[in-house]
Amino acid sequence: MQVIRLEALSDNYIFLLHDYKQNIAAVVDPAEAEPVLKKLAELKAELVAIFNTHHHNDHVGGNKELIKQFPQVIVYGGVEDRGRIPGQQVFLQQSDRVQFADRIAEVIFVPGHTRAHIVYYFPAEKAGETGDLFCGDTLFSGGCGRLFEGTPTQMVDSLSKLRSLPDDTRVWCAHEYTLKNLQFALTVDSDNADLQKRFNEVKAYRSRGEATIPSLLGVEKRTNPFLRWDEPSLQLTVKSSDGVQTFTRIREMRNNF
C-alpha cells in the first residue's frame, strides 16, 4: 500500500492509498474531489473506498463528486456521524476493522474534536517497518485538534489511545500546522532539547516549501505537549498536578496563541 499525500484547500492534506498490484485506490478525508480525480487519472486507478474520520466539510467536501465519478465506491465513517457524512454506507465503532488491498486497519474511536471522530490505524506488517495512523484532526504534528463537540477528559482519553501505539507509526494528520504548533510548544516546554531540535528542522523544511507530514509517533511523544500532560515540567508550567487540567490549560493557551 502506497500512501500519496495530496494538497487541498489552504492547508489540508488528503491521503490516497494506492494498491499498485490491483491498481485500486482508497482516499482518506477528501476535502475536495479535484486533486483526487487528477491523481486517479494519472494512475489509471479505480477508487473503491472513502475513509472519513469525521464530518467537517474540509474532510468530506469531495465525497459527493467522487461518488458521482465512482458510483460503486464504499463510504466509511463513524457510527456517531450518521447523517452527517455525505454518502456514508458503513458505520464504524471502536475496534472494528476495515480492509484495503492486503492491509487491515483498526478503527479507534477518539471523541474530542468532534463527538464522532474515528481514526484508522494500519499496524506495521513486519518487524522494522512502520505502521500508518490516519488521524484526521485529533492528533496533529506538534499539536491536537480544537475541542468543538467533546470534553477535555474525552480528548485526553482519545489521545491516550493514540499515545499507546508503537513509536514507529507514521502520523498522517490532515493539516500543515506543524511550524505554528511547535512555536507554541516552545512557550510551554522551552527546555525540551528534542523539541528545540525539531523546531529548527521544521523551520528549515517549511522555508523550502516542504511538507512536514507524516511525522513519527515517537517524535510526537517526545515533543508534542498534547501528548505530555503528565510531564512534571509541563504541569509546573501551567500550575497543575492533574493530567486533564494540565491538558485543558495547555489547550486554552494554544487557542489564544
Residue 175 is assigned to a ligand binding site: yes
How many other C-beta atoms can be found within 10 angstroms of the C-beta atom of residue 166?
14
The one catalytic residue in 59, 81, 117, 189 is 59
Q: What is the DSSP letter of 79?
A: G
Q: Is 137 a known active-site residue?
A: yes
Q: Is 59 a known active-site residue?
A: yes
Q: Please, which residues bridge with residue 178 across strands?
A: none
Q: Is 56 a known active-site residue?
A: yes
Which residue is listed with cell 465503532? 93
Residue 29 is assigned to a ligand binding site: no
Which residue is listed with cell 479505480? 46
The one catalytic residue in 18, 113, 117, 132 is 113
- State how far the Cα of 228 lies from the Cα of 148, in Å rounded to an integer: 21
Q: Is 54 a known active-site residue?
A: yes
Residue 137 is assigned to a ligand binding site: yes
Closest CA to 166 of 209, 207, 126: 126
Which residue is listed with cell 517497518? 129
CB burial of residue 21 (10 Å; 0-12, 13-18, 19+): exposed
The one catalytic residue in 18, 55, 117, 175 is 175
The one catalytic residue in 18, 56, 132, 189 is 56
SS3 content of the chain, % helix, strand, coil (to 5): 35, 25, 40
Residue 113 is assigned to a ligand binding site: yes
Cβ neighbors of 38 (< 8 A, separation 6 or more) are: none
Q: Is 18 a known active-site residue?
A: no
Output the known binding site.
Answer: 54, 56, 58-59, 113, 137, 175
Output the known binding site for Zn(2+).
Answer: 54, 56, 58-59, 113, 137, 175
State the catalytic residues: 54, 56, 58-59, 113, 137, 175
